[in-house]
Structure 1
Amino acid sequence: MNKKEFIEMVKEMLQESLGDEYSVVEYSHVKNNKKPLSGLAIQRIGTDLGMVIYLDKVFDEYQNGRETDKIAADLYREIRNAEIPKELSGDFMSAIVNNYESAKPMIFCKLINEKANREMLREVPYFPFLDLAVIFYIQVSKSNEGEMAITIDHKIMDLWGIDSQQLYQDTIYHMETSVPQQLQSFSDIMEGILDEEEKIILREIGINGKGRFETTPELYCLRNSSIFGASSLLYGDTMAKFAEQEQCDMLILPSSICEVLLLPDDGSRNYGELQDMVKTINQTEVSREELLSNSIYKYDRMAKKISIAYQGEEL
């Protein structure tokens, strides 16, 4: 059974389980960096909102021997557990889509690769930033299971009657307080996520006198609390303060759309080798839809400006 046949089969099974109250239709979407996804759009009849379930990974599970009945049962539970709250339909959605002031506290931005998303960028307002692009979305709701969001396109901008410059300025101002920048050393992050046995192993490899891991002593993570934390590059003075503290420029390694890594630049760094490292990690460790760039950036502490230090290959 190929993927198309699999999706059609799951669609029929879910439609039978959900009954006539729901509409279940096939859905395809090209996500960040031209990542194609296929699945089903499920909507309760008579409501404005629905949900999309992507089936690409589920199809892989099927190919690895998972039974279709169990797959359909799990998807059914997922749909039932993710019912759209009544307060997010009808008048509420109409207000945020048609009224900019109502939507403004819920607007956030994210960084994506510009060249890898040329087609998508034709449909939305965006700002170029280095070899990246800043796009905007309305965060309708957020929970431990994920978030519901609406990408802001030209149609919504026409309804709001504002220009891109105002959208950008208002969004950055809002994000500076709602999702402020966070800077944390990589060793502190490792301490926080490792269990005691893993910490013991690292301590055997070697720690410094203060009891901190020296696996990557100069590497720092910059992000914010949104799921697209790399957008923190666009605002705040954390980078400037950190560069002054270290008395040097900062190299910026694009880890993913979720965060970037900072490396103090003492003048001895080989940019080409760093770029090769970023490219290798992108190819082996980062999913296609979370890739940001293969380039290396640099923050000049005197000019207080970020530029491309080493241009990487296209994604």
Structure 2
Amino acid sequence: MWMEYEEFAEARGRVRLVLLNAEWNRGLLEGCPSREFLDLAAAYCLELEGKDYKATALVKEYYLESWGVTEGELWETALENLRKEEYGIKPLSEILESMLGPRMGSFHDFPFLYVLTNQRVSHGAAGILRKDLLEEFSKLARGNFYILPSSVHETLLLVDGPGIKAEDLRDMVQSINRDEVSQEEWLSDNVYYYDREKGELEIAL
């Protein structure tokens, strides 16, 4: 299907960045250009669309040869598209209440937990590659925060504070991955930490 976009000029608006776990997806990523990001791989995805279908496909190295572009050019194109994509950061309580309504009562137990994803809620975890979104949330949080890799489609942002331990968060993420998330949607068993002063994201442990 990618051959519908034989010219890079036709494909460039459809190039997206996707985050995948580098170790878990080693076979899938073989032959695909990507960049290391923490314990993840930032790979390239091409959005495909026809009269009767919508699909995505990982960009292969031979696509670049056919298009006559370098990986660096592809990276800049994908970043540009990522910056244009509409992302939102919403309190988890707001999302849960909109989904479940009064059945679940109050969600005041989650005052410092937020969801970061794109409007399509598809491979929205790539939003953590956007420094502007992380800086924006650090201002809202007035400090540092953890990023919990909920799935390849979204991440959870947790404002740092007294009593919060990275070890506990990692254990929680690992448990949820095994019990609640489809294996093909696992992003990572690690937890990430954003330092507002440094403006850097790192693995918490």
Matched residue, 1:108: 16
CA deviation vs aligned residue, 1:15-43 (integer Å, no higher than 9, x gap): xxxxxxxxxxxxxxxxxxxxxxxxxxxxx
Contact 1:125 1:152 in 2 (8 A): yes
Amino acid aligned to 2:58: T
User: Which of structure 1's runs of 4+ aligned residues deviate more than 3 A?
Assistant: none
Matched, 1:188 2:94: yes
**How many angstroms does 1:260 deviate by?**
0.4
Q: Distance in 1 between matches of 2:50 and 2:86?
A: 17
* Partner residue of 1:282 out of 148, 173, 177: 177
Deviations 1:171-221 (A, max 9, x none): 1111211x222100000001111144x14xx14xxxxxxxxx313121100
1:50-85 CA-to-partner distances (Å, cap 9, x unmatched) read: xxxxxxxxxxxxxxxxxxxxxxxxxxxxxxxxxxxx
- Aligned counterparts, 1:71-110, within 5 A: 94-96=3-5, 98-110=6-18
1:274 partner amino acid: L
What does 1:243-262 correspond to in 2, within 5 Å? 243-262=138-157
RMSD: 2.0
Distance 1:246 1:290, change over 3 A: same
Inter-CA distance 277–94: structure 2 relative to 1 (3 Å threshold)? closer
Q: SS at 1:117's partner residue? A: coil
- The answer to whether residue 197 in structure 2 is matched with residue 302 in structure 1 is yes
Task: Indicate how the Cα distance of structure 1 residues 146 and 261 shifts in structure 2: closer, same or farther if over 3 A, else same.
Answer: farther
Structure 2 distance, partners of 1:232, 1:184, is 13
Q: 1:78 aligns to what? A: none
CA contact (8 A) 2:127 2:133 kept: no
1:137 aligns with 2:45: yes
Question: CA separation in 1, counterparts of 2:50 and 2:10?
Answer: 17
Match 1:155 to one of 62, 71, 81: 62
User: What are the equivalent positions in structure 2 for 1:1-315 lying under 5 Å apart?
Assistant: 94-96=3-5, 98-141=6-49, 147-177=54-84, 179-196=85-102, 198-199=103-104, 202-203=105-106, 213-226=107-120, 227-266=122-161, 268-310=163-205
Q: Which has the higher contact order (CA 8 A, sep 6+)?
A: 2
In structure 1, the gaps of 5 or more residues are 1-48, 50-92, 204-212, 311-315
Matched residue of 2:36: which SS? strand
Q: Contact (CA 8 Å) 1:184, 1:221: kept in 2 or not?
A: yes
Larger radius of gyration: 1
- Contact 1:180 1:232 (8 Å CA) reproduced: no
Deviations 1:72-125 (A, max 9, x none): xxxxxxxxxxxxxxxxxxxxx6451x2111100011111000011112222100
* 1:146 shift after superposition: 7.6
Identity of aligned residues (%): 29
> Deviation per CA, 1:207-257, whole angstroms, max 9, x where unpaired?
xxxxxx313121100111241010111115122122123221110000000
Secondary structure in 1 matching 2:57? strand
**Structure (1 or 2) with the greater helix fraction:** 1
